[in-house]
Structure 1
């Protein structure tokens, strides 16, 4: 904690005000550096997590950092597959995402609702574990049992929480 010694005089108080203003500017600048470093680390971790995720279908996730006002950064994942990758689908895999229920992501209750079944078919890319079957009419359908909860963003948050104290000490030295 920074201390400022001031003599009890007009000049001393003026000097203290200048010191406080300098400290406030330093604090704002360092806070911005900390937020940028956390956001970039979050971008890197979330991108890697989504890239390596087991997913039947086209993994179309794109991760970016958005500045949402002064002092706010957000690591954002967009794409049609984000929720399926994050929370998982189907009844085959464990429903083990710690925040799924509170986010309203109950297995078989979102998307087209096929996750209530042990397996289902769709047209598209087989992804990690999807099995391609050719129908009598010659069209290919992918059979899936769903996807595990990869928890890409959840794990990113946990990682950032873990590095925050050390990173803050480094930035605010």
Structure 2
């Protein structure tokens, strides 16, 4: 914790005000660094999970935004993009997901066997479906690699150490 000493003179009070403004600016700079580091770590974990997902779902990516335009609040958002994002997060079919259940599946109402109109998600092996062009497609489903869950978990696990590094060294 920074200590500021002063005398009760107008010049000393002015110096303390200037020091406090410098401290405030430094604190804001370090907060931006902290949010940026945690965001980048989360994005890296999420992208790795998207890339390693096995199965039929390939239309997914990771995007993010860091915003400090409100002045006092620095916020970061990480999200999945693409039509297959939920399949990669929560999984589809048991071929890749037998026993690998997303910890938040029940809370959000997603996961293996929850797709509207599905009939074969719990059937071992594979199934067939018709795509948008009405072509018959073979599927083993999609592995739930949980990019958002893992990104959030990583950020939670690293926030204290990253904050210590940022504020003590930064």
Q: Which TM-score applies when normalising by structure 2?
A: 0.78
Query: Which blocks of at least 5 consecutive residues in structure 2 are unaligned?
Result: none
Query: Which blocks of at least 5 consecutive residues in structure 1 are unaligned?
Result: 125-138
- Alpha carbons 1:90, 1:108 under 8 Å: kept: yes
For residues 156 and 33 of structure 1, the distance between their equivalents in structure 2, rounded to whole angstroms, comes to 18
Residues 1:159 and 2:162 are matched in the alignment: no
Q: CA deviation at 1:83?
A: 0.8
Q: Which TM-score applies when normalising by structure 1?
A: 0.77
Q: CA RMSD in A?
A: 2.4
Q: Which runs of 4+ in 1 moved over 6 A?
A: none
For residues 114 and 165 of structure 2, the distance between their equivalents in structure 1, rounded to whole angstroms, comes to 44
Residues 1:101 and 2:106 are matched in the alignment: yes
Which has the larger displacement, 154-163 or 73-82? 154-163
The equivalences for 1:76-87 within 5 A come to 76-87=79-90
The equivalences for 1:3-152 within 5 A come to 3-55=3-55, 57-70=56-69, 71-90=74-93, 93-94=98-99, 96-114=101-119, 116-118=121-123, 119-123=126-130, 141-144=137-140, 146-152=141-147
